[in-house]
Amino acid sequence: MDTTARGAHGRSGRYVRQRAGHRAFVPTPLPPEPPLRLDGELRVLLSRADRALGRLDGSVTTLPNPDLFVFMYVRKEAVLSSQIEGTQSSLQDLLAAEASLFDSVAVPRDVDEVVNYVHAMNYGLKRLPELPVSARLMREIHERLMRGVRGRRLLPGELRQSQNWIGPGGSGITDAVFVPPPPERVAEVLGALEIFLHSKDDLPLLVKIGLAHAQFETIHPFLDGNGRLGRLLITFLLAERGVLEKPVLYLSHYLKRYRQEYYERLQAIRDVGDWEGWLTFFLHGVALVSNEATETARRVLLLREQNRTDITAGLGRAAANGHRVLESLFDRPIISVGMAQKLTGTGFAAANQLVARMTEMGILREITGNARNRRFSYEPYVRLFTDEPEDRP
C-alpha cells in the first residue's frame, strides 16, 4: 500500500512512496493554499508583463499582414521548443524542409519533429474556437506532435499507463531527479487542472497561466512530448482568453536560454511549495519575450520599407516584379527561379535575372551551392527571427 513520504511540502503536493520503492509526486489541485502572495516584486513584474503584452499586441496589428509575421514566429517557436528536447535542426532547416529543398539523404534526421510541432500548433489554434483548452484537446495535439517521430511508439495522444521519470540520460527511477504521479492518478490530477483552467476566480490571467504550465509539467501526463506540449499550452491559453489578437508570444527562447533555472524553479514548487519564485521567473520571461517580439515587428516594418526602396531605385522597369517577389518572401522566405517566374508571369531568363539582381542587392542569398535547382533565402528576414534576445529585464 502507498505511504506518504515524510518531509513533503503540502502546499504543492506530496511525495508518495510506491511499492517498487521510489517516491512519486502527487500534486495538490490549484490554486495553491495558502494563497499566493501577489505583492511587492511579483506585483511589479505582473504589471510589467501586462504592459509588454499590450505593446506586442498593438505592434503586430500595425503590420501590413500580421499572419505572415505569425507564420515565422510559429516556426521560430517550433525550432526552439524542439531544441530544448535535444533536436539540432535550425530554422533554416525547417524552412528548407517545408520548401522541399532536401533530398531523401540530406534531410536532417530530427527535422520531422519540428515540422510536427508546427502542425500541432496550427491544429490546436484552429480547434480553440470549438474546443477549449482541455484534456481532450491536449490529447489531440499530442497525437499530432508525436506522429511518426521519436516517441511514436509511446502512445501518441494517450495518457500514460506506466510510470515515467525525469533525470540524466541512462538514469533509473530510483535515482531520478523527479518522478511524476503514478499512472493510476494521471487522469484525476489532469482533470483537476482542467477544472482550474475554467473555474471563476480572481487570479490575474498571466498568474493562472503560469500556474497551469508548471502543474502540467509536474503531472507529465504523456510518456513523451510533455515539455513541448506544456509550452504550447501557454500560447493556447493566451489565445483562448483573447489576450493577443495573434498568437505571437512564445517562451521557448527564454526557457532555452535559462534552462537550468527553469528546471530548478519547477522543482522548487514540488519540494518547498515555492510558487512565488516560479511566477517571478515566468513573468520575467513574459515581459522579455513580449518586448523582443515587439522589437522584431518593428524591424520587420523597417526591413520591408528599406527593401521596397532599394527595389524601386535599383530594378528600374523590373521593380514591379521585384515587389511581387518581395511580398511573397514574407510568406515563404525560400524561393527558386521557377517560383519567381510563376509569381511574375515572365520568362525564365527574366526571372533568373531578377533573382540575380535581388541577390546582388543582398535581399536574397543562394543556399544550395548547386549549379542547378538552386534555392534562395530571404536572409535578412530570416535573420530577424534567429537573433539572440537581450538579457533579462
- Evaluated on CA atoms 263, 203, 74, 120, the torsion sign reads positive
Residue 66 resides in a domain: yes
Q: What is the CA radius of gyration of the chain?
A: 23
pLDDT at 89: 78
Pairwise CA distance, residues 8 & 125, whole Å: 38
What is the total count of domains within the chain?
A: 2
* Same domain, residue pair 194 and 90: yes
- Evaluated on CA atoms 165, 171, 176, 182, the torsion sign reads positive
With the CA atoms of 327, 328, 329 and 332 taken in that order, what torsion angle do they form, in degrees rounded to the nearest 10? 150
* Same domain, residue pair 234 and 339: no
SS3 148: coil
Residue 269 resides in a domain: yes
- The amino acid sitting at 180 is P
- Evaluated on CA atoms 232, 234, 238, 244, the torsion sign reads negative
Residue 309 resides in a domain: no
CATH no. for residue 335? 1.10.10.10
Q: What would the mean pLDDT of 349-371 be, rounded to a whole number?
A: 94
* Same domain, residue pair 84 and 200: yes
Among 241, 263, 295, residue at a domain's last position: 295
Cα–Cα nearest to 358, from 386, 332, 329, 389? 329
pLDDT at 199 > cutoff 80: yes
CATH no. for residue 277? 1.10.3290.10
Q: What is the pLDDT of residues 141-187, one digit of tens each?
A: 999 999 877 655 668 899 999 999 998 877 789 888 999 999 999 99
**Percentage of residues in the chain with pLDDT exceeding 70?**
91
pLDDT at 2: 47
pLDDT at 67: 81
Cα–Cα nearest to 252, from 228, 274, 280? 228
Residue 124 resides in a domain: yes
Residue 12 resides in a domain: no
CA distances from 366 to 143, 337, 381 (A): 36, 11, 14
* Same domain, residue pair 289 and 345: no
pLDDT at 354 > cutoff 60: yes
* Same domain, residue pair 338 and 251: no
Q: What would the mean pLDDT of 225-241 be, rounded to a whole number?
A: 92
Q: Report whether 250 contacts 171 (CB < 8 A).
A: no
* Same domain, residue pair 95 and 231: yes
Q: What is the pLDDT of residues 270-304, one digit of tens each?
A: 999 999 999 999 999 999 999 999 999 899 999 99
Bond into 34 cis (ω within 30): yes
Residue 224 resides in a domain: yes
Q: Of the spans 49-53, 110-114, 248-252, 382-386, which averages the highest pLDDT?
A: 49-53
pLDDT at 110: 67
Q: Of the spans 75-89, 102-116, 322-336, which averages the highest pLDDT?
A: 322-336
Q: What would the mean pLDDT of 336-341 be, rounded to a whole number?
A: 94
pLDDT at 339 > cutoff 60: yes
SS3 270: helix
pLDDT at 371 > cutoff 90: no
Residue 17 resides in a domain: no
* Same domain, residue pair 363 and 239: no
Phi, psi of 331 (to 5 degrees): -90, -50
Among 227, 260, 295, residue at a domain's last position: 295
* Same domain, residue pair 289 and 245: yes
Pairwise CA distance, residues 274 & 92, whole Å: 39
Q: What would the mean pLDDT of 378-383 be, rounded to a whole number?
A: 92
* Same domain, residue pair 284 and 349: no
Pairwise CA distance, residues 48 & 46, whole Å: 5
* Same domain, residue pair 201 and 322: no
Residue 116 resides in a domain: yes
Measured from the Cβ of residue 194, the count of other Cβ atoms closer than 10 Å reads 17
Q: Which domain holds residue 335?
A: 317-384
- 4 forms beta bridges with 16
* Same domain, residue pair 291 and 322: no
* Same domain, residue pair 243 and 321: no
DSSP annotation of 316 = G
Q: What is the pLDDT of residues 116-137, one digit of tens each?
A: 888 898 899 999 999 999 999 9
SS3 243: coil
Cα–Cα nearest to 118, from 90, 152, 94, 84? 94
Structure confidence at residue 391 as a pLDDT band (50, 70, 90): very low
